[in-house]
Structure 1
Amino acid sequence: MRAVDFGVDATSYDLNDYLAMARRHWWIVALALIAGLAVGADYNRRLPREFVSVASVLVRPAGQDANVAGGRTRDEINLDTEAQLVRSTAVLERAAQTLQRTDFESLAAAVSVEVPANTSVLQIKFSASRPYAAQAGARAFALAYLGNREDNAKAGLTAQSGSLKNKLNDLTTELAKINSQLATARAGSSFYATLDSQRETTVGQINQLTNKINQLSTETVSGGLVIRDARLPGRPIKPNTPVNIAAGALLGLLVGVGVSALRERLDRRVRGQADVTRCGVAVLGVVPGKTTPVDDVFGPFSPGGRAFNRLRNEVVAALAPGEQVVVVTGASRGAAATIAAANLAAALARTGTDVVLLGANAADSMQDRTPMAKLLGVAPTPGLSDVLAGRANLGEATQRAARNPTLRVITAGGTGSAAGLLQSQALRDMVSKLRANAGYLVIEAPSTATGADAQSLASLADAAIVAVEFRRALRPELIDAAEQLRRVGTPLLGAVMLPKLQAGMATEPEPEPAPAPAPVINGYHATELLHDQTILLTPLDEARKE
């Protein structure tokens, strides 16, 4: 017999589990998604609008512009430095004056400068809450920067020109002094020659300074020009409507999945195979469909019949030689164990093996005895509870299934006061007797959620199967069922999963038929023979054939 691990891992959820939760609670996810879209749209509507206008300025050398080592460009102008000058105090004051504003800090925060790679262009950007204000701001800063740059260049030229003029005045004074000395010096003397050489040098310097001053006075100053005027922005860059709405939708989706997962955690019903395996129970078979019929067993070639044929193969492969008793119990109240036990017994009997189905669901017999009788086409009474209560014997309670000659059925019976007798020695003797006279004995036990009868019956069996009804059985009930079976040492083969049972399971019991005359077997009345509880099934079957 293979070992079964009863460990429980209730926290190992993967992506497929969360997707399954979202599918089961799709309406929660849909509502959360719609709410997320609404929240994203409302948040986007409440955010302040931000418009940006850009003015492009071509920077040209002017005045004393020179390269700065380590700058972005290796031209005459360092554009990284010029980008910082756009936000300087002088430019800021000029722009503020043009815009007629005094909030220097907010103006400085609204302007930014970018330098496209491998260009001599500054892109001056200005952001504002209105498009016209953004356009006016970008234009004002571009003109203020160029104006400040031209003023700085002119101031540099003026300072340079004044310095040259001062040097020119000094040289002119020196030349006049040299000329006066030459007038008194003797021609041809060495002193005269020296003075004449100094005069020529001074005159040359005066001519150079005069030329530089003339160049400076005629130089045209232009720090650059606006090559792309600021345009009126058509739409705001902030808020980003698609991003905000998508973020709201994503948030709603996450909330929906989270609420679905929380609902799944709070709702402890078994909804799929993953819930069963997460409880530490193997899944032997799953009956397809949305509902389970309760008036007949599955046909051998129907989807449900094929599922129980596979379950039969699992059971036969799991049982060792000499093991032949399988108890089928339910994880929750209801007739799931009855359906599973009846179909498993029918699947075993279809192989030609002699199978006995023992209905021991005495705790719920008033509810569940009629379904077993309907499923297999036998009379609801007498049954197990009648035998244990002394109202009938085993031979009277054993019936052949209507459409399966190798399947014998012992229903739960009609005595409602058999509680406690499932732990009696009489039941153990009956199971031993049936074990000796049948190929397989399938016991339909009460649910483990109703009491200890299932545990007592499992102690008489070689293996156990738990019937789980979708959306009715609870995960704690399934864990408890596995634990009860483990405590009595009965190997749990796994679970068979049934879809929701059709309504009408709790039908009223049919009236008991009038007793028929007892047949004569080998010269004796059957009632006399059946009064002995040790009678075997095989002689009884032979008598019925006669």
Structure 2
Amino acid sequence: MDAAHPGSMDLSDYLGLVRRHWWVVLLLTAVGVAGAAAVTRTLPREYVSSTSVLVQPSGGDANAAGGRTKGEINLDTEAQLVRSTQVATTAAELLRTHVDPRNLSRSVSVEVPPNTTVLQIKYAARTPELAQAGSHAFAEAYLRSRDANAHYDLDSQIKALNAKLKQLSTQLGQVIVKLGKQSGDAPNRPTLDSQRATLQAQINQLNGKLNGLSTTAVSAGRIISDAGLPNRPRKPDLKINLAGGAVLGALLGLLAAALRHRLDRRVRRAGDVWRRADVPVLAEVTGRAKPRLDDVFPPYGSGGRIFNRLRNEVVAAISAVVPAGERLREPSGTQPAAETALGRAVVVTGASRGPSATLVAANLATALARTGSEVVLVGAHLPDLLVGVAPLAGLVGVQPTPGLSDVICGRVALSTALQRAPRTPHLRVLATGATASAAGLLQSQALRDIVAHLRTQCDYLIIEAPSAEASADAQSLAGVADAAIVAIELRRTRYPQVLDAAEQLRRVGTVLLGAVVVPRLKVPTSVPAVAPAPRPTPSAALVEDTQHFERIDETKLAELDAAAGQGAA
């Protein structure tokens, strides 16, 4: 699996993403709100004033078939008339402005409240005074236009009636003239009498209509609520703009957090190690367990319980890898070949530089020793690789010298360098040592002989190796061990480093038990200087072997010292 391309994410991953990058989301949300406030200040203000006009029927009103309004007046048509060029021209005259009426009408909007004959004429302008004047001017112009149209329709009807009366009067005069020329017993006299009566009736009817139209009072409508002076602008709306800026900023924050998560290769939580690096997590030092670089966790504290569970898992896993009956056959001079039980060897290496491997190895070895098993802890961080790393000796309470590097170089004997931890009787420690020499000591045959010999003298051998990123020493040490554990430091270790460490261990055939995840540790800025220990004489070394390492006989110790000297040469 490519660490740069994580697998599918579920809801918990997205929630964790927001939790880890909350400051990005919050920052961009604040930026969005601030940007919206700044933009709102630069936008032009728009004030709106409204005038309510009651529309009354006039002689020329007619509702369209299928119209939205079902009364005598079609208010949809009237709303369109308010925005007509004729009304806009009259409004421009009332406002005494030279603005094009077509541009003036674009600032007008008309609303029709349901079940009413009222028009709400709204006018938008940059100042409250212009908005008020514009709304009133368009209402007044609309009423004038409607009044003029009503009078025009009324005059047209009166003119038509007068023309018809004139025609009928002419016809009546002709009939009367004909009647005057006829005798009383003329055959067509009854017909002429009938025509005269009919024409007279029509004339009387038209005169009645004409009299009615002449006395009709035209009222096209009236203003029932005049335009008021608006106290605040309609646009821009500060609340809406701020809410929009906050939403936009939050979305950008989420996108930035997702992009940051996508590009960030640092291990942020233990659950991602298995999903992105294909390495199982054995334990996670989190919660109230605050790692210390000057002492191991107490057995009944939060951290102690974590490493007790880790100890049980490691014992169970390594027992399945290395059968309990496996033995090592060693030659011993002229004596018959002897069979010696092998202790299980576990290498602890860090995926990145730092004290994570030292912390895990010291606490794991202490947890194993508390069960009564004989445990040897070997510190393999050479001094030239120890910059910025907490010494192993400080965690378990032993002297930093002599140590492994001194034994490999032949300066001291192995039994002299081995120290028993003062607070853990069943734990013996081979510290790192103080000899700074050329690289390659951890890949020498002398080191392999030391590891092989130590495995015959203990139940568990824990090797604190350099990080897999620093050198190939971790891979070399893993080649002489039964299993390996990778220490991962949150927010410092990267997924490619975890993948590389796992691949290095698997290439040498070592079983990778899993990873132990620890929080980011505060690395010491300096390491105390250690004075090199004087090299003891061979006789003194043998005495030390007898007192401190009773299970190593003199013949084996001499062979081991000789091999160490050859490896250093």
- Normalising by the residue count of structure 2, what TM-score does the alignment of the two structures yield? 0.83
Aligned to 2:157: 160
Whole-Å Cα distance in 2 between the matches of residues 369 and 469 of structure 1? 13
Whole-Å Cα distance in 2 between the matches of residues 509 and 498 of structure 1? 29
Aligned to 2:86: 90
Contact 2:361 2:462 in 1 (8 A): yes
Task: Letter of the 1:296 partner, please give it.
Answer: D
Instruction: Give 1:459-478 correspondences, 5 Å limit.
Output: 459-478=479-498
Q: Which among 413, 435, 441 is matched to residue 461 of structure 2?
A: 441
Whole-Å Cα distance in 2 between the matches of residues 339 and 153 of structure 1? 99
Contact 1:62 1:222 in 2 (8 A): yes
Instruction: Give 1:231-242 correspondences, 5 Å limit.
Output: 231-242=228-239
Instruction: Give 1:95-134 correspondences, 5 Å limit.
Output: 95-103=91-99, 104-134=101-131
Contact 1:150 1:223 in 2 (8 A): yes
Q: Within the alignment, does 1:319 sit opposite 2:318 as a pair?
A: yes
Moved more, 128-137 or 441-450: 441-450
**Unaligned ranges ≥5, structure 1:** 536-546
Instruction: Indicate the percent of aligned positions where both proteins have the same amino acid.
Output: 51
Contact 1:44 1:244 in 2 (8 A): yes
Q: Within the alignment, does 1:61 sit opposite 2:57 as a pair?
A: yes
Whole-Å Cα distance in 2 between the matches of residues 259 and 67 of structure 1? 59
Aligned to 1:355: 375
- In the TM superposition, residue 392 of structure 1 has moved relative to its aligned partner by 4.0
Q: Within the alignment, does 1:222 sit opposite 2:222 as a pair?
A: no
Task: Letter of the 1:484 partner, please give it.
Answer: Q
Secondary structure of 2:57's match?
coil
Whole-Å Cα distance in 2 between the matches of residues 519 and 18 of structure 1? 57
Aligned to 2:332: none
Whole-Å Cα distance in 2 between the matches of residues 412 and 519 of structure 1? 19
Q: Which among 189, 192, 211 is matched to residue 192 of structure 1?
A: 189
Residues matched between the structures, number: 527
* Distance change in 2, residues 1:274/1:188 (3 Å): farther
- In the TM superposition, residue 346 of structure 1 has moved relative to its aligned partner by 0.8
* Distance change in 2, residues 1:474/1:369 (3 Å): closer
Whole-Å Cα distance in 1 between the matches of residues 534 and 128 of structure 2? 95
* Distance change in 2, residues 1:287/1:170 (3 Å): closer
Q: Within the alignment, does 1:180 sit opposite 2:200 as a pair?
A: no
Contact 1:393 1:533 in 2 (8 A): no
Whole-Å Cα distance in 2 between the matches of residues 63 and 53 of structure 1? 31
Whole-Å Cα distance in 2 between the matches of residues 188 and 302 of structure 1? 145
Task: Letter of the 1:447 partner, please give it.
Answer: S
Superposed CA RMSD in Å reads: 3.3
**CA displacement 1:158-194 (0-9 Å, x = unmatched):** 1111111111111111111111222223435541111
* Distance change in 2, residues 1:83/1:333 (3 Å): same
Contact 1:365 1:414 in 2 (8 A): no
Aligned to 1:338: 358
Aligned to 2:294: 295
**CA displacement 1:371-415 (0-9 Å, x = unmatched):** 222222223333322333334444443332222222222222333
Contact 1:335 1:505 in 2 (8 A): no
- Normalising by the residue count of structure 1, what TM-score does the alignment of the two structures yield? 0.86
Contact 2:85 2:102 in 1 (8 A): no
**Unaligned ranges ≥5, structure 2:** 323-343, 562-569
Whole-Å Cα distance in 2 between the matches of residues 327 and 180 of structure 1? 142
Whole-Å Cα distance in 1 between the matches of residues 315 and 554 of structure 2? 38
Whole-Å Cα distance in 2 between the matches of residues 9 and 179 of structure 1? 112
**CA displacement 1:9-37 (0-9 Å, x = unmatched):** 358775334423434xx4x7666555544
Task: Letter of the 1:15 partner, please give it.
Answer: Y
* Distance change in 2, residues 1:369/1:274 (3 Å): closer
Whole-Å Cα distance in 2 between the matches of residues 526 and 94 of structure 1? 118
Whole-Å Cα distance in 1 between the matches of residues 177 and 264 of structure 2? 118
Moved more, 151-160 or 236-245: 236-245
* Distance change in 2, residues 1:184/1:318 (3 Å): farther
Aligned to 1:16: 15
- In the TM superposition, residue 209 of structure 1 has moved relative to its aligned partner by 0.9
